[in-house]
Structure 1
Amino acid sequence: MTNKQSTEGQPSIAKAALFGLCPQCGSKTLFAGLGQFADRCENCELDYSSFNVGDGPAALLVMVIGALIIILALIVDAAFRPPFWVHVVIWVPFTAALTVLFLRMAKAALLAAEHRNRAKEAGKDDVS
């Protein structure tokens, strides 16, 4: 017999990340600001502060978006040979916009995955 957690009524990780939904009840209560989690869900009282999202989403985005921007900048440079200031005007705002856009979704996805998998920090009781 397996001990599976019931996921009835819970949004998928992708849906929770895309729309900022509570991973337990599906209400749109995950964020209090642009990228800041609310303290708890106003609907089901799930405590968001008990989840440890950390800097994982930011580190991943820096690597992925950084690689994407470098590739795009090299393609534009090879095709058009614009002056350096054009690169700055194009890529700095584009990088900032992509980071802000995807950081919110990445943080929400990690929190939803932690909730779905009942992830927690290891303690003395977890050592065999």
Structure 2
Amino acid sequence: MKIAIKHFLFILVACFAFAQANANDTIIVHKDARVDVLAEKQAAINKMTSNMTADGLFKGYRLQVLNTRSRDDAFKLKAALLENFPDQKVYVLYQSPYFKVRIGNFVQRTDAEDFRKQLSAYISNPAYIVDDIIEYIPQAGEFQ
């Protein structure tokens, strides 16, 4: 009797499986338009966070203008850069035994290259584009 019930259940399940395999029915899925909006917002968030460090700071570029052992030279150049480019931030870093002078906070490398061309008219030293953690505040709606 138990074997007959097992065979009956097996045949029943097989019939339903066969019926599903031969179905020519079309399934229509109605997608809510808000799903697309949500996907776009998530893509923007992913793009923004890919440029962020674990601390919430942004990866970007700066121009390194000077690498010297003289503290006075570094701060003189910083003052001159601030005088000529008041809209850019200038940074003096000390990595023993060198003082490094860097300028700018650029999200895109092309922006750093454009500024390097402007900067070459004011300084005789070559400026190098370096990867750095930058100060950057996204504009409202930039990543939405």
- TM-score, normalised by the number of residues in structure 1: 0.25
Give the structure with the larger helix fraction.
1
> If each structure's strand is expressed as a fraction of its own residues, which one has the higher value?
2
Query: TM-score scaled to structure 2, two decimals?
Result: 0.23
